């Protein structure tokens, strides 16, 4: 919510001493009170419409997006609200250059690729949120989703070089409100979300907010359903004029069917129904529970310097069993399966200490960030595969209820322990009114041990890494700026090579040049960027020893465009386009050089436009449409299987019956496009949803 400052001027008395008559009986003149309101959007405030003005993800400071010498896409919560979706993946379609990857059978946090490189790295309020098997983020407490393009290791540490996703959660606000939204959709999908914001004292120093969501969903997939309960309480406390404490928590209880999708015989649909389930309904669901608590204490040391101490703790567990497809059989109409049992738990603790300050050196203005971070992560993972009798199923006419395999048991059972210490420095510099720069570096010490209980052995690795970035932005005109940057990344590789030594970490370097524009009297923001990224030390098979070694290389280059804003008072738009040429440049026999990187389309684009009525009995109501295009993609690393291009069209409408009641309707995949959403191979293929609808009711209580 925008901060407001109020000033009043009243009761001025004028004594006109020049005239004795007036001097003897002065009459006071009261001026009417004047209210002066200043609208300011901070990096964590709600975004009005689709155009965000500020961000903290790219710098960990509250900075105007137009001043950041790097491409960053911000997807406000209103996009998900208008689309009637609770899926973060749906929002990422409007970030430009983000592709869908493995979703772990629909259970947990999915993988995605940014600018051609796949990652599962994902942050929430600046903390890594992907350790273990976290459940997918819930839209109930998402304020905005920010995608920082290119390597971000100098700020966030180990990760992939394509980009970083940081979710900003909803914060307690000064004004009390309660919003209830309930929805129902095709295939018996039901969701209710509640947002309660309450000041706890008269002065507004203590604020509270609770976001809650409950889901009970079936799907177009036979025998596939899910349930979820999500609760996220938070408290904001202004301890003194200079000290602020924010405490946030999340509790997630998620249960769903493990579903790898369908198969594609001969690398085509081949008559397989997109609703066919190839597991066993009797296996039941897999449960995923997560608990999170984080706190941030900020103290204003002076007008120029601020200290921040923040801590994040997450724990979780995942358990259950499933029958999974593993290979197509030679008969062309059955797929072999394996029966697996999963039982994992994890704990992750992160502490950050940051000092931020403003100072001048000569005519140059500096904003300095000095930060340190410590992480301690532990995960127990047990995956048991049961061998035995043939366990195949017909892909056209599946018959369920086969006896479970009851033979030998094998799999993985290990304890992973990771500790890391990091120090990062960043300086944002204003050289002149038009020229800005940014320098950043991070030193990280990383230690990992894996106790393999099946082999009674322990492997260890430790690495020191220095990552950097530098960028410049020159404001050609008040409306147009040009920027360039270079940055590096690193990511440790797990396991040991043929000599029993740990692998060298993956290392990446990225280069970017682009334009940032403010168009139509600052109503519309646009960023166009060209990039080139190289990654090396990717694990590949050494033909000399038939073991893995860090020898692979990959390259991604292209351009992306992102636009958002208000074309008029009535029309808001957000859209993106990306061209990405991503391929393996040094591989092995399984994934040779020249192979396209899995799941990355060369061309993709999206556009969402919503028209809101400004007058008459429809005032506040809106209608809109969304268009998404994804080009053909590699469906299997190193293989010939490709996913064909597809496009979808969605329609939406919201009728504002009163100030407190809104009714919504969303029609998705209006043309009933039949498409593959993602795949890992031709026997793990996720089909996209057929035509469907959602109706919703929103009450402001």
Instruction: Please determine, for residue 297, whether its predicted confidence score (pLDDT) is greater than 60.
Output: yes
- Asked which of 211-220, 233-242, 264-273, 300-309 is least confident by mean pLDDT, the reply is 264-273
pLDDT tens for 134-173 read 888 999 999 999 999 999 999 999 889 999 999 999 999 9
Which residue, 207, 184, 135, 101, is CA-closest to 597? 101
**Three-class SS of residue 684?**
strand
pLDDT higher at 530 or 455: 530
Which residue, 109, 171, 178, 106, is CA-closest to 138? 109
CA atoms of 264 and 276, how far apart (whole Å): 12
CA atoms of 405 and 408, how far apart (whole Å): 9
pTM above 0.75, yes or no: yes
**Three-class SS of residue 156?**
helix
pLDDT tens for 493-548 read 876 666 666 678 899 999 999 999 999 999 999 999 999 999 999 876 665 555 66
How far CA 315 is from CA of 168, 230, 378, 413, in Å, comes to 20, 15, 10, 19
CA atoms of 84 and 101, how far apart (whole Å): 22
CA atoms of 519 and 530, how far apart (whole Å): 20
498-507, 546-555, 585-594 — most confident range? 585-594
Mean pLDDT of the 173-181 span? 97
Instruction: Please determine, for residue 41, whether its predicted confidence score (pLDDT) is greater than 90.
Output: no
CB atoms within 10 A of CB 263: 22
pLDDT on residue 492: 86
Instruction: Please determine, for residue 432, whether its predicted confidence score (pLDDT) is greater than 50.
Output: yes
pLDDT on residue 211: 98
pLDDT on residue 389: 79
CB atoms within 10 A of CB 29: 9
pLDDT tens for 355-383 read 999 999 999 999 999 999 999 999 999 99
Instruction: Please determine, for residue 399, whether its predicted confidence score (pLDDT) is greater than 90.
Output: yes
Across the chain, mean pLDDT equals 90
CB atoms within 10 A of CB 170: 20
Residue 578 bridge partners (DSSP)? 560, 604
pLDDT tens for 619-653 read 999 999 999 999 999 999 888 899 999 999 999 99
CA atoms of 610 and 93, how far apart (whole Å): 17
pLDDT higher at 164 or 15: 164
109 band by pLDDT with thresholds 50, 70 and 90? low
pLDDT on residue 198: 97
- Asked which of 75-79, 456-460, 481-485 is least confident by mean pLDDT, the reply is 456-460
pLDDT tens for 557-570 read 999 999 999 999 99
CA angle 116-419-110, nearest 5°? 35
Domains and CATH numbers, the chain: 1-40 (no CATH), 48-167 (2.170.130.10), 168-700 (2.40.170.20)
Q: What's the gap between Cα 51 and its chain centre?
A: 17
The answer to whether 32 and 38 have CB atoms below 8 angstroms apart is no
The answer to whether 539 and 493 have CB atoms below 8 angstroms apart is yes
pLDDT on residue 411: 87
Instruction: Please determine, for residue 301, whether its predicted confidence score (pLDDT) is greater than 60.
Output: yes
CA atoms of 85 and 79, how far apart (whole Å): 9
pLDDT on residue 23: 41
Instruction: Please determine, for residue 27, whether its predicted confidence score (pLDDT) is greater than 70.
Output: no
Mean pLDDT of the 48-61 span? 93
């Amino acid at each position: 919510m925008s901060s407001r400052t109020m000033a009043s001027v009243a009761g001025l008395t004028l004594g006109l001493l020049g005239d004795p008559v007036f001097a003897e009986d002065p009459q006071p003149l009261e001026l009417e009170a004047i209210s002066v309101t200043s609208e300011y959007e901070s990096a964590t405030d709600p975004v009005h419409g689709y155009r965000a003005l500020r961000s903290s993800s790219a710098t960990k400071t509250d900075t105007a997006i137009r001043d950041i010498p790097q491409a960053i896409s911000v997807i406000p919560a209103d996009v998900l609200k208008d689309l009637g979706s609770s899926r973060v993946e749906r929002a990422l379609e409007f970030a430009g250059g983000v592709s869908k990857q493995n979703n772990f059978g629909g259970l947990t946090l999915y993988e995605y690729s940014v600018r051609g490189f796949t990652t599962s790295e994902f942050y929430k309020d600046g903390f890594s949120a992907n350790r273990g098997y976290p459940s997918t983020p819930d839209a109930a407490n998402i304020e905005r989703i920010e995608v920082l393009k290119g390597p971000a290791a100098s700020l966030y540490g180990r990760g992939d070089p394509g980009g970083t996703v940081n979710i900003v959660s909803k914060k307690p606000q000064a004004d009390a409100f309660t919003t209830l939204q309930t929805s129902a959709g095709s295939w018996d999908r039901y969701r209710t979300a509640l947002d309660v914001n309450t000041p706890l004292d008269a002065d507004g120093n203590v604020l509270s907010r609770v976001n809650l969501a409950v889901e009970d969903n079936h799907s177009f997939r036979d025998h596939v359903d899910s349930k979820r309960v999500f609760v996220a309480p938070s408290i904001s406390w202004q301890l003194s004029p200079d000290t602020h404490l924010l405490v946030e928590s999340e509790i997630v209880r998620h249960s769903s069917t493990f579903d790898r999708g369908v198969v594609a015989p001969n690398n085509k649909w081949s008559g397989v129904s997109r609703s066919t389930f190839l597991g066993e309904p009797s296996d039941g669901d897999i449960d995923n529970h997560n608990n999170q608590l984080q706190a941030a204490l900020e103290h204003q040391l002076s007008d120029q310097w601020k200290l921040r101490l923040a801590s994040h703790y997450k724990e979780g567990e995942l358990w259950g069993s499933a029958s999974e497809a593993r290979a197509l059989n030679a008969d062309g109409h059955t797929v072999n399966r394996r029966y697996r049992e999963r039982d994992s738990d994890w704990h992750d603790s992160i502490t950050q200490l940051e000092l931020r300050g403003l100072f001048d050196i000569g005519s140059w203005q500096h904003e300095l960030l000095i930060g340190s971070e410590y992480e301690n992560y532990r995960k127990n993972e047990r995956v048991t595969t049961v061998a035995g009798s043939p366990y195949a199923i017909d892909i056209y006419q599946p018959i369920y209820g086969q006896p479970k395999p009851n033979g030998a048991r094998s799999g993985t059972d290990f304890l992973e322990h990771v500790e890391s210490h990091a120090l990062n420095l960043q300086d944002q510099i204003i050289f002149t009114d038009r020229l800005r720069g940014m320098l950043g570096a991070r030193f990280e010490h990383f230690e990992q041990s894996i106790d393999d209980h099946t082999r009674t052995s322990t492997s260890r690795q430790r690495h020191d890494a220095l990552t950097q970035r530098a960028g410049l932005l020159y404001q050609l005109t008040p409306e147009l700026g040009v920027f360039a940057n270079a940055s590096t990344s690193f990511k440790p590789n797990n396991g040991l090579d043929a000599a029993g030594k740990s692998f060298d970490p993956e290392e990446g370097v990225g280069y970017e040049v682009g334009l940032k524009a403010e168009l139509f009297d600052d109503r519309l923001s646009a960023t166009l960027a060209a990039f080139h990224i190289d990654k090396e030390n990717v694990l590949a098979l050494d033909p000399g020893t038939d073991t893995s070694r860090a020898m692979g290389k990959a390259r991604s280059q292209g351009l992306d465009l992102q636009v958002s804003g208000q074309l008029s008072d009535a029309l808001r738009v957000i859209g993106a386009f990306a061209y990405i040429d991503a391929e393996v440049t040094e591989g092995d026999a399984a994934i040779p050089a020249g192979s396209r990187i899995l799941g990355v389309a060369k061309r993709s684009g999206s556009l969402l436009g919503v028209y809101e009525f400004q007058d008459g009995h429809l005032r506040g109501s809106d209608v809109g449409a969304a268009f998404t295009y994804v080009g053909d993609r590699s469906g299997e690393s190193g293989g010939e299987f490709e996913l064909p291009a597809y496009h979808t069209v969605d329609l939406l409408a919201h009728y504002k019956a009163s100030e407190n009641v809104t009714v919504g309707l969303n029609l998705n995949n209006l043309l009933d496009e039949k498409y593959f959403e993602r795949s890992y191979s031709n026997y793990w293929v996720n089909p996209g949803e057929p035509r469907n609808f959602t109706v919703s009711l929103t009450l402001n209580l």
